Amino acid sequence: MLRVENLVTRFHTYDGVVRALEGVSFEVREGEIFGLVGETGCGKSVTTYSTLRLLPSTGRVHSGRITLAGESLLDASESRMREVRGGEIAMIFQDPLSALNPVMRIGDQIAESVWLHDDLPDAEAVAARVEEVLGEVRMPDPAGAARAFPHELSGGMQQRVMIAMALAGRPKMLIADEPTTALDVTIQSQVLQLLRQLKQEVGLTVLLITHDLGVVAELCDRVAVMYAGTIVETAPVAELFGNPRHPYTQGLLAALPGASDTLAPIPGRVPDLLNPPSGCRFHPRCPLAVDRCRAEAPELRGDARQVACHEVEP
Amino acid sequence: MILRTHGLAKHFPIRDFLGRVEGQVRALDGVTLTLPKGKTLGIVGESGCGKTTLARTLLGLEAPTAGSVELGPALADGLAGDRLEELRLSDLRRLRRRIGVVFQDPLGALNPRMLVKDLVTEPLVIHGQTRGLRDRARELLELVGLNPDHLYRFPHQFSGGQRQRIVIARALALEPRLLVLDEPTSALDVSVQAQILNLLQQLQRRLGLSFLFISHDLAVVKHMCDRVAVMYLGRVVEEADAAQLFANPRHPYSQALVSATPELDPARRQARIVLEGDVPSPAAPPSGCHFHPRCPIAVDNCAVEYPELREGDGCAVACHLV
């Protein structure tokens, strides 16, 4: 469905060139939930903004290919991209309240998305479609919710509205950027259940961006782990958690509370991408690092399981 | 026992545009808890359940509407009484030296224009100390694992985890007996979170501190706490040893909370209880048991009568049916 190959994105700032993405490759298959997981500043969101060509003016994609069902998105015209955004790839964000217009009724906001992407004859048909999508995301009272303002709904309901708005254009794929981070756990499990149901019922393809390994374990089919602008490991979820290969993935899992009695933090800190380490970007913090790691950046190797490390076989 | 609350309540008035009181938010509604000495008591619950109001009330930042806070010997030593709400201002100031606090967002807690040296010794200055500040600052930085040569730096020159260490160093400046930790790692990435949690455990062992650990992250609470209290809309619904609570939660809300927590290991994953609906507003809590509209096992009586917290074999549960 979506294939990203060797994506290199840089930001040109007054302080210098921020090498935000350095050769990111992954593939999201039709009907799966694919997780992109990593810590703050590792380039998860930059990857999606590059995909939708929504980078701020300082950012530029230097090289690489992004294809959606065979069509190159980096070469598409701006008018084509407007159709792609929302029509083929829809996106939801972390904080639903700041993504919704506070002075517009929910129904009217979803209707905007319906008008843009659907060819319906009149306002009544649009209103019916709005209620339909609100029903799809299991709003308890779709007609009532359509008349409500965003502040009248709770956080979980607002996130349902965001998902409804995203689905209104009947996209092939949904990019969910930290969709449950702002929600309480019991509400989070409602939203995760909804995403799972949508995948089963309408075969929705989801690219899930998150820092929460627990959410990945619950929801995703396959997952890519990012570190400092590179993908270090890609694997089916059960294999990643059962048998992590890359030292960074192993470190992340060992740092999670619950695994054992003592937590093992990863020494050091995330590098500054203005001046990233040579070779493998993880080498200054890596317990396995050898001379070759300082000199040469490892390629992502393997088929079903991919690992970017000189010292570890995929 | 370092501290005990008895039926602690804090109600905030809701005013209309003319300033007339038209309702009340019952942020805390009869909380009875015991903080064991040298141990960690965890408070878990979702947004708006009263976790932070509880912390603020214990720190003496909010006057309770009802109920009392009984101070243990380690806190009440040398004061005129052992009831927080009866203390005179001078005693309250002395008490505050014995309770440190760490909040969620380290950047918001550190004045960006102050040097680290001044930040960590500000509590000493406020309490009248003027000499030996620089040496004490070096000591404190070393205690929390920072380079003591970084005294003359500003907060923006540190990473998020290091900033939280500065906040912890400042909380320890007056040698408190009790540390109130309000979501201390929620703003941090997991690898840094692990560093801070390890540091807190080391400090507890070395200095014999008691912790009140507030978090919405159950995995962190399970790792850190000896005892845990689960709160829902201003009330404690269950209190138990951490191991017992997570292995065998009794209250239906605790059960839902524990089962809603994402589990990494598919083999240990159990049937998930997904609660219907949202947390009600604390300004208009449901009648009877606050949890009954969302409760999978509620009966008629739950809507009428509030279940008291009842104790039994090491845990306390507030439910008619458990």
Give the residue extent of every domain in chain A. 2-88+171-307, 90-170
CB pair distance less than 8 Å for A257 and B222: yes
Nearest in space to A162 (alpha carbons), one of A95, A114, A224, A217: A95
Q: Which structure tokens are listed for A209?
A: 């961006």
Q: Chain B residues with CB inside 8 Å of A223's CB?
A: none
Which B residues, 140 through 199, put their C-beta within 8 Å of a C-beta on chain A? 159-161, 189-195, 197-198
Is the pLDDT at B165 greater than 80? The verdict is yes
Q: Chain A residues with CB inside 8 Å of B222's CB?
A: 257-258
- The residue among A40, A184, A186 with the most chain B CBs within 10 A of its CB, best to mutate, is A186
Nearest in space to A195 (alpha carbons), one of A185, A207, A186, A184: A207
Q: Chain B residues with CB inside 8 Å of A270's CB?
A: 159, 189
Residue A303's pLDDT is what?
Answer: 84
Rg (CA), chain A: 20
Contact B49, B281 (CB under 8 A): no
Q: Is the pTM of this model over 0.90?
A: no
Residue A249's pLDDT is what?
Answer: 93
Q: Chain A residues with CB inside 8 Å of B158's CB?
A: none
Residue of A154, A258, A262 with shortest CB distance to B278: A154
Q: Chain A residues with CB inside 8 Å of B193's CB?
A: 255, 257
Q: Does B279 touch chain A (CB under 8 A)?
A: yes
CB pair distance less than 8 Å for A257 and B189: no
Residue A34's pLDDT is what?
Answer: 96
A34, β-bridge pairs:
A207, A222
CB pair distance less than 8 Å for A217 and B278: no
Count of pairs with CB atoms under 8 A, one residue in A, one in B: 105
Chain B nearest-CA distance from A299, in A, is 24
Residue A11's pLDDT is what?
Answer: 94
Contact B106, B37 (CB under 8 A): no
Q: Chain B residues with CB inside 8 Å of A241's CB?
A: 264-266
Residue of A40, A238, A269 with shortest CB distance to B266: A238
Domain at A2-88+171-307: CATH architecture: 3-Layer(aba) Sandwich (3.40)
Q: Output the tens digit of pLDDT for each of chain A's 314 residues.
A: 899 999 999 999 998 999 999 999 999 999 999 999 998 889 998 999 999 999 999 999 999 999 999 999 999 999 999 989 988 999 998 888 888 999 999 999 999 988 888 888 888 999 999 999 999 888 888 899 999 999 988 888 899 999 999 998 889 899 999 998 888 888 888 889 999 999 998 889 999 999 999 899 989 999 999 999 999 999 999 999 989 999 999 999 988 887 667 888 888 888 888 889 999 999 999 998 889 999 999 989 888 899 999 988 87
With CA atoms as reference, the chain B residue closest to A256 would be B190
Q: Does B60 touch chain A (CB under 8 A)?
A: no
Look at strands B310-312 and B315-317 and give their pairing: antiparallel
How sure is the predictor about B121, in pLDDT bands with cuts at 50, 70 and 90?
very high
Is the pLDDT at B269 greater than 70? The verdict is no
Residue that wins the pLDDT comparison between B18 and A50: A50
Chain A nearest-CA distance from B76, in A, is 34
Chain A nearest-CA distance from B311, in A, is 26
Chain B nearest-CA distance from A123, in A, is 31
How sure is the predictor about B270, in pLDDT bands with cuts at 50, 70 and 90?
low
How far are the Cα atoms of A180, A263, B131, B139, B168 from residue B142, in angstroms, in the given order? Answer: 37, 21, 19, 5, 12
Q: Residue B70: helix, strand or coil by DSSP?
A: strand
Q: Chain A residues with CB inside 8 Å of B256's CB?
A: 186
Is the pLDDT at B202 greater than 90? The verdict is yes
Residue of B47, B189, B218 with shortest CB distance to A211: B189
Burial (CB < 10 A; 0-12, 13-18, 19+), residue B322, is: middle
CB pair distance less than 8 Å for B261 and A214: yes
With CA atoms as reference, the chain B residue closest to A184 would be B46
CB pair distance less than 8 Å for A241 and B265: yes
Rounded distance, CA A36 to CA A45, Å?
A: 9
CB pair distance less than 8 Å for A265 and B194: yes
Q: Does B107 touch chain A (CB under 8 A)?
A: no
Contact B307, B318 (CB under 8 A): yes
Residue B266's pLDDT is what?
Answer: 64
Nearest in space to B191 (alpha carbons), one of B215, B148, B160: B160
Look at strands B227-232 and B40-44 and give their pairing: parallel
- The residue among A37, A189, A227 with the most chain B CBs within 10 A of its CB, best to mutate, is A189
With CA atoms as reference, the chain A residue closest to B197 would be A263
Tens-place pLDDT, residues A117-175: 888 888 899 999 999 999 988 888 889 999 999 998 888 889 999 999 999 888 989 99
Residue B108: Cβ within 10 Å count: 10
Residue of B197, B264, B275 with shortest CB distance to A214: B264
User: Mean pLDDT, to the nearest integer, of B3-21?
Assistant: 89
DSSP summary character for residue B49: S
Tens-place pLDDT, residues B138-160: 999 999 999 999 999 999 988 88
Which domains are delineated in chain B? 3-98+176-317 (3.40.50.300), 109-175 (no CATH)
CB pair distance less than 8 Å for B262 and A212: yes
Average pLDDT of chain B is 89
Chain B nearest-CA distance from A313, in A, is 23
Rounded distance, CA A213 to CA B142, Å?
A: 32
CB pair distance less than 8 Å for B256 and A193: no
